[in-house]
Amino acid sequence: MKQAELVLDRRFEVGEADKRIFGSFVEHMGRTVYGGIYQPGLEASDEEGLRTDVLDLVRELQVPIVRYPGGNFISGYQWEDTVGPKKERPTRADSAWQSIETNEFGLNEFMSWCKKAGTEPMMAVNLGTRGADDAKNVLEYCNFPGGTYYSDLRRKHGVEAPHGVKVWCLGNEMDGPWQIGQKKPVEYGHLVSQTARLMKTVDPRIELVACGSSAYTMSTFGAWETGVLEECYNDVDYISLHAYFGKYTGDTGDFLACPVEMERYIRDAIAVCDSVGVRKHSRKKINLSFDEWNVNYHFRYPNAEPQEWRTWYLTSHCYEEFLMKASMKPPKKQRAFWTQAPRLSEDIYTMEDALAVGGMLIVLLRHADRVKIACQAQLVNVLAPIFTSDEGVMRQTIYYPYLHASRYGRGTVLDTRVQSPCYMSQIYGPVPCVDAVAILQPNGESLVILALNRDGKGTMLGCDLRQFEGWRVAEHIVLSDDDRLAVNTIENPDRVLPRTVTGEATLDGGKLSAKLKAYSWNVIRIEKSAE
């Protein structure tokens, strides 16, 4: 059995994990909203049409912040359509997803949903077809107490108290050729600077996120961030990162190594941000908002075989080229365009996918000093941990690492070094079989280790914890399955479940020894023993 070792010291800290790195994303795309969080007339829905079964799972995840309403959708969004009496709201053609948007669920309905879900809103403004003045207006509607046109309009709509939205995204993926209103970096950066300054005259307490690259493999990555931040460095607080990963070569080892690319992306983005700060002689640090991330490949190109994925990915030089190659073959079943809430990207996630997601969560926590916001995309139905039908709701496999990280990842992230055997990935090079991060809980009396075993055999994980004298292993949770392609369904929602095991992790004489099952996600909780 292979051996891996964690090296940590409770005095060496990465920093406090911002709870917002366990955020999520709700876009008007597919069945995220209609049939997802909102479905009037269903037995499980409340008087506002909000699905209570979905709300229960969102509260269980303890989602701290939710980005809304897009995504690509935001670049054609007209927020005024979404407020006021529902019968007076116009129905629009959404060019981003070629769908019909009735605006039945709008801005104030989302704010009400956030309150019931116990989460905070993260609003985006349209910098695709609109600009600074519109961004100022929607901020005034949301955050100004009263006595102005837009704040009084909100009150006329039955919302007396301001929503107090703190975090605002300035557009979405403005570097992408698929984006409505795509812009050049300097052009976008100048617009961001103007928009940010105008918005902060209305509410100087807000935090602003500028669009970074849409993917690490964009041909313009680095140059885009530099051009944007040269224009708006002193006006924004965060720059965004987006990343989606697939099983491009059909190989499990390659797929589970995808967090390696996520980590490189974060490190390189930090380097670019700091280089601009140095040139500007600024002490300010631009932090990161990783506000779209997930596994995404099952639904997107259903006609593709693993060998085709391999050829497309390994022969592409940038993200745009890969998308072009992957889109050449039409899907087996064309969806109906210009319908409301069509089925889009409804990936049914496997055990393997849960492991990849767990690895990404470890990476986000490891960079808690600079990654302050992150949103798994999306929350319901579309690339989501929660999946619904008219008959019920289920937790997908990826729900569980998200749940564990959100529940146990809040606290002080320790500088956790992993000494592990490696395997060779044809995409990413040498990859550690084991990855892990340790978090000291806020009460100071519990240490949690989140560990991923990418190896197809069991691995023994050791760690010297003599500085935690008198502590004990309180719990060892394992998510694994003999079938790496196992999935949960509405009919069989508990096919893949985490289980608490005993005797697999021990703490003796200050030395932790834990057996990690093949291809497994692990939560090892260590507590101070009762006196």
Are 515 and 504 contacting, i.e. CB atoms less than 8 angstroms apart? yes
Q: Exposure string (b/e) for 82-93, b if CB count within 10 Å is 16 or more?
A: bbbeeeebeebe
Residue 29 to residue 18: CA distance in whole angstroms: 28
Q: Which residues, at least 6 apart from 312, have a Cβ–Cβ distance to it below 8 Å?
A: 248, 304, 322, 325, 326
Using alpha carbons, list the distances in angstroms from residue 305 to 212, 235, 505.
32, 46, 40
Are 310 and 250 contacting, i.e. CB atoms less than 8 angstroms apart? yes
The CA-CA-CA angle for residues 76, 79, 80, to 5°, reads 125
Cα Rg of the chain (Å, integer): 23
Residue 299 to residue 301: CA distance in whole angstroms: 6
Residue 243 to residue 215: CA distance in whole angstroms: 5
Taking the CA atoms of 327, 216, 417 and 362 in sequence, report the sign of the dihedral they define.
negative
Are 342 and 336 contacting, i.e. CB atoms less than 8 angstroms apart? yes
Closest residue by Cα to residue 207 from 255, 257, 155, 168: 168
Q: Is 173 a catalytic residue?
A: yes
Taking the CA atoms of 310, 402, 170 and 239 in sequence, report the sign of the dihedral they define.
negative
Are 307 and 258 contacting, i.e. CB atoms less than 8 angstroms apart? no
Catalytic option among 173, 231, 263, 320: 173
3-state secondary structure of 61: helix
Say whether the peptide bond before residue 378 is cis (omega within 30 degrees of 0). Answer: yes
Catalytic option among 101, 109, 292, 352: 292
Q: Exposure string (b/e) for 465-483, b if CB count within 10 Å is 16 or more?
A: beebeebebbbbbbbbbee
Are 128 and 74 contacting, i.e. CB atoms less than 8 angstroms apart? yes
Closest residue by Cα to residue 359 from 207, 519, 169: 519
Using alpha carbons, list the distances in angstroms from residue 29 to 123, 169, 384, 439, 444.
16, 18, 12, 35, 42
Q: Is 60 a catalytic residue?
A: no
3-state secondary structure of 332: coil
Are 347 and 297 contacting, i.e. CB atoms less than 8 angstroms apart? yes
Helices 132-143/107-117 angle, 10° precision: 50
Residue 77 to residue 202: CA distance in whole angstroms: 21
Catalytic residues: 173, 292
